[in-house]
A and B are shown apart, each in its own frame.
Chain A
Amino acid sequence: MKRENYRQGASDAKTPAESGSGPILFFWRLGVPGALAVTLVFGCAAPAALAPSAPAPLPPPMVAAIDTTPKERRRMMPPEVYLRAYLGWFGGLAPLDVQAKARGKNMFDSWDDYLAALGLPDYKVDLPRQSQSNTLMIATLGRLGEALCVRAAEHDLHGKTPAAARVVFAFQPVAAPDDAQFAERFDVLHRLFLGYPVRLAPSDRAAHFFALYRAVAAQHAGKKGPLTPDETAWAAVCTALVQHPEAELY
């Protein structure tokens, strides 16, 4: 208590130093263990001979905790990679041809409208590459994804293109598929856009996408549109996969 008061410098009690007690001061400065040790040394009789004491173990070295947490992060797909993949999914067309093909029914504007939003750098004005997604980028990916998927559905499914000529929907569609039929076809899209078979995905993924399929097909049942309800549903599944986080990251 007295020591604390001394440290704080806010005590009326005199310290041993102030009270002038030399020996008490000495012991006080040693602290209790030290005082005890000195007492033992001076207070006990010395042995006849000094025996070597067993070597005490060395104290353990200081272990500083190093942050060894993994530094890796899922990386955002570079926009060039996305664009190259996109052109490939459109059948390997040149960008201006894709633009022409994707347009119509307000599905696409022009590449110029999207490139900066996708995160491409612009060296002319020293705009750096974007390495993180943002809302507008997600919106742009959504727009481009819809255009890709509906055009692919028109070409692959509605156009009854031979299987060998299909890029996206490389399977034979069936009307109102059951779970197994859907899963088999979903696996084709899953591999294309996410890069691995659906059997390795979380176990409920196929079911969730099948629910989307059924909901969209039901929504469009009986309606006239450029695509049949099943084709629209596949286009919706495709759109969801193109916008999936695992498609945007690697």
Chain B
Amino acid sequence: MPRVQITVRRSIAALCLLALAAVARDGAADRELADYRYFRALSVDLLGRPPTAGELAALDKPDFDLNAWIDTHLAGPAYASRLASIYLDALRLEVGPSFQFVPNPLVLRRETVLGPDGAPIYVYFRRGQRRVDPATDGDFCLTHDETGLSFPPNAPSLGFPIAVSQEVLDAKTTLVKPWWLYGDYRAALPSDRISKDWSTRFPSFVPVPQLLVEPDGKTPTTAVRVCKEEAQTADTGNVYVSGRPAPKKGEPPPAGRLTQPPGDSGFAKATKGRAVSCLSGTGFQSSVQCGCGIGLERCMPASGPQFESAAFQLPTHTPLGLAFDASPQPASTWEKLWWSEEAKRFLLKIIVDDRDFREVLTSRATEVNGPLAQFYRFLAGATCCGPAADAGYAQPEGVVDPGAVPAALVPEDTATWLPIADRGPHAAGILTMPIFLVKYGSRRARAHVLYNAFLCKDFVADSVKLAPSDEPDLTKRAGCSACHQTLEPMAAFFTRVAESDWTWLPSQLFPASGCAKAPSSGLCKQVYDPAFHMLRGAYASPAHVEEGPPGLAKDIVDAPEFAPCVVENVAQSLLGRQLEPEDDAWKTQLVKTFVDGGYRMRTLVRAIVTSPRYRAGNDVRR
């Protein structure tokens, strides 16, 4: 440390000693301005607010033990929030409207038809739901003839409504007490209907008013009418093949429909009659027996026929974890909110509990509340399996084992958080949380952000000339290789995790090399890369494919840059400035402190906030 600064600091120390001596005489501490400024900075960084009058009064007392105060507050939620914000700023784990989570299996849309008495009634349905009747297969369960209305996709109905007969209603629809209205929806006779005390029991769970009342706007909804197929509760169904020939080009849809009924996929024809999971998108597309489950718990409500109709009053901003606003939002926003909360809570817990910080990347644990439990148990499989079904993949395997998810949590229970000790063998910290996997949808984007945030390194392609080339291997292609030599092998760790999704591609069905089906098949073109005859993303490192995200997590935390990067991020944030070359010795010392302390934040932060550099940030001379 430069001599001038040492001299100044010794002077300040001497003054402090004099002041303390004065205290011993008079019985009250004669604090200097630097002391108050330091205390205020500590309060801002460790308590998340300036000190209160009472806290300043305590500081004034001669027996005030600042070190003990620091140690006490290196454990609170505000300190954790302060540190978590460093990584949340780097990772930005929230997604906006540009990412839509509206798979047909999940979205319960709502149409309004006239009941037998001529009064409007709501009927819920899923677009794409399989039905035996070709007039309604894949569409709303009531026809134009029955309702007087046509139901275009994602648009309000058209036509002049006529009263639907009771006979038709009884044949095609049923009444259900759904999860968003009843806390005990799994009971034989649900009775715990949504009421005022739910704001205490289930804070943040606020369905929009349109979901709670009948079309008259007044009568409370006690049960919802839903198409019968959607009300089915079986976990599995049988693959259905309609046998309908593919429509000829220009052929109008049958039975007054606006769209053609679904055809029979190759998967369906190949597996006709076989059991298929109703928790998967493939099951939804292939079986007439797959519904929304008990209390419609596998589906999310909407207040209209569009896929993003309002469902819940939700905040768009939650700094401090509190709602600063609220507006009607679709159900997909509800899911995205809780994905984000899972990651934040995970990060906070590691810091509050002073756990090994490497667990941010390596831990298989997490905590879930009701909405997240619903997601992992019932909703996550809805995006599976697309062309992967051609490989016989119809039972989705996620990065979280649904069996590990607490079954007792009801979807509206936002307040109760229960731990999951082990999400499963594919889990790795935030790397396999839904919010991370959708925020950074591509394998390369996932690798890139981790490279930045946890190794403090960048892929910077300065002044490269990108010439046209047919070289598919980016680790070799001129102009690309400089970055992709590192990026591709890192991205390969995510080969088995679907892009913009969390579906896992198991090795038994999807060998890294070689596609089992015809090269022209969807499987071989979409899941496999025709250029390399390997799973997409695998070519740069087949070994990494099998290690998966846990392998990348291990590589990152074992890298020599990891600890210095953490130290740099935390120190820069607390000092409010970039570290300079003359901080190198101090940084090296902090790295040693951090590593020797078991990679725990508390030790590191304590070392920083008690350092002269931190104190000098508030020097009165400045």
A–B contact via C-beta, under 8 angstroms:
yes
Interface residues of A (CB under 8 A from B): 66, 68, 70-81, 83-85, 87-88, 94-96, 99, 110-112, 115, 120-126, 128-129, 131, 170, 188, 191-193, 195-197, 200, 250
Residues of A contacting B486 with CB < 8 Å? Answer: none
> B208 at the A/B interface (Cβ < 8 Å)?
no
A-B contact count (CB 8 A): 132
Do A73 and B617 touch across chains, with their CB atoms under 8 A apart? yes
Do A111 and B325 touch across chains, with their CB atoms under 8 A apart? yes
Evaluate whether A95 and B5 lie within 8 angstroms (CB atoms) in the complex, with A73-B577, A125-B96 already known: no
Do B617 and A80 touch across chains, with their CB atoms under 8 A apart? no
Do A71 and B577 touch across chains, with their CB atoms under 8 A apart? yes
Minimal beta-carbon separation of B605 from chain A (angstroms): 15
> B483 at the A/B interface (Cβ < 8 Å)?
no
Do B577 and A126 touch across chains, with their CB atoms under 8 A apart? no
> B175 at the A/B interface (Cβ < 8 Å)?
no
Contact of B320 among A73, A83, A200 (CB under 8 A): A83
Residues of B contacting A68 with CB < 8 Å? Answer: 2, 4-5, 582
Tell me the bound Cα distance from A99 to B324 in angstroms: 9
Evaluate whether A80 and B576 lie within 8 angstroms (CB atoms) in the complex, with A120-B317, A123-B94 already known: no
Contact of B94 among A78, A80, A124, A192 (CB under 8 A): A124
Minimal beta-carbon separation of A102 from chain B (angstroms): 13
Residues of A contacting B89 with CB < 8 Å? Answer: 121, 128-129
Minimal beta-carbon separation of B448 from chain A (angstroms): 14
Evaluate whether A81 and B49 lie within 8 angstroms (CB atoms) in the complex, with A72-B622, A195-B39, A196-B40 already known: yes
Do A77 and B320 touch across chains, with their CB atoms under 8 A apart? no
Q: Which residue of the partner chain A has the closest CB to B41? A: A250
Residues of B contacting A197 with CB < 8 Å? Answer: 36, 56
Evaluate whether A250 and B44 lie within 8 angstroms (CB atoms) in the complex, with A73-B617, A120-B317 already known: yes
Do B616 and A80 touch across chains, with their CB atoms under 8 A apart? no
Evaluate whether A72 and B616 lie within 8 angstroms (CB atoms) in the complex, with A79-B319, A123-B88, A200-B36 already known: yes
Residues of B contacting A131 with CB < 8 Å? Answer: 576
Minimal beta-carbon separation of A121 from chain B (angstroms): 6
Residues of A contacting B44 with CB < 8 Å? Answer: 77-78, 81, 250
Residues 298-324 of B, flagged 1 when their CB comes within 8 A of A and 0 if not, give 000000000000000000110110111
Tell me the bound Cα distance from A6 to B315 in angstroms: 79
Residues of B contacting A83 with CB < 8 Å? Answer: 319-320
Evaluate whether A121 and B56 lie within 8 angstroms (CB atoms) in the complex, with A95-B323, A115-B319 already known: no
Tell me the bound Cα distance from A124 to B4 in angstroms: 47
Do A84 and B619 touch across chains, with their CB atoms under 8 A apart? no
Do A84 and B78 touch across chains, with their CB atoms under 8 A apart? yes
Contact of B50 among A71, A73, A85, A124 (CB under 8 A): A85
Residues of B contacting A87 with CB < 8 Å? Answer: 320, 322
Do B88 and A250 touch across chains, with their CB atoms under 8 A apart? no
Tell me the bound Cα distance from A124 to B48 in angstroms: 23
Residues of B contacting A71 with CB < 8 Å? Answer: 577, 580, 583
Residue with the greatest number of chain B CB neighbours at <10 A, chosen from A111, A131, A250: A250
Do B37 and A111 touch across chains, with their CB atoms under 8 A apart? no
Residues of B56-97 contacting chain A, CB below 8 A: 56, 78, 81-82, 85, 88-89, 92-97
Evaluate whether A250 and B40 lie within 8 angstroms (CB atoms) in the complex, with A72-B577, A73-B576, A120-B319 already known: yes
Minimal beta-carbon separation of B609 from chain A (angstroms): 13
Evaluate whether A196 and B4 lie within 8 angstroms (CB atoms) in the complex, with A74-B622, A129-B89, A250-B44 already known: no
> B33 at the A/B interface (Cβ < 8 Å)?
yes
Tell me the bound Cα distance from A123 to B322 in angstroms: 16
Q: Which residue of the partner chain B has the closest CB to A94? A: B322
User: Number of B residues contacting the other chain (C-beta, 8 Å)?
Assistant: 53
Residues of B contacting A192 with CB < 8 Å? Answer: 50, 52-53
Evaluate whether A70 and B319 lie within 8 angstroms (CB atoms) in the complex, with A96-B326, A196-B33 already known: no
Do B617 and A75 touch across chains, with their CB atoms under 8 A apart? yes
Given A74-B618, A74-B622, A84-B320, output 12 extra A-B contacts at Cβ < 8 Å: A73-B577, A80-B48, A80-B85, A83-B320, A94-B322, A99-B324, A112-B316, A124-B95, A191-B53, A197-B56, A200-B36, A250-B40
Residues of A contacting B51 with CB < 8 Å? Answer: 195
Evaluate whether A123 and B92 lie within 8 angstroms (CB atoms) in the complex, with A84-B48, A115-B317 already known: yes
> B10 at the A/B interface (Cβ < 8 Å)?
no
> B32 at the A/B interface (Cβ < 8 Å)?
yes
Residues of A contacting B32 with CB < 8 Å? Answer: 200
Contact of A124 among B40, B81, B96 (CB under 8 A): B96
Tell me the bound Cα distance from A84 to B320 in angstroms: 7
Evaluate whether A72 and B575 lie within 8 angstroms (CB atoms) in the complex, with A80-B85, A123-B93, A200-B32 already known: yes
Do A195 and B36 touch across chains, with their CB atoms under 8 A apart? yes
Q: Which residue of the partner chain B has the closest CB to A75? A: B576
Contact of A200 among B2, B33, B50, B617 (CB under 8 A): B33
Residues of A contacting B326 with CB < 8 Å? Answer: 96
Contact of B37 among A88, A123, A128, A196 (CB under 8 A): A196
Tell me the bound Cα distance from A126 to B319 in angstroms: 15
Residues 6-49 of B, flagged 1 when their CB comes within 8 A of A and 0 if not, give 00000000000000000000000000110011011101100011
Residues of B571-590 contacting chain A, CB below 8 A: 575-577, 580, 582-583
Minimal beta-carbon separation of B568 from chain A (angstroms): 14
Provide a sorted-by-A list of 24 A–B residue pairs whose CB atoms are within 8 angstroms: A68-B4, A71-B580, A72-B577, A73-B577, A74-B622, A77-B44, A78-B44, A79-B319, A85-B49, A87-B322, A88-B49, A88-B52, A95-B324, A111-B324, A115-B317, A129-B89, A192-B53, A196-B37, A196-B40, A197-B36, A197-B56, A200-B36, A250-B41, A250-B50
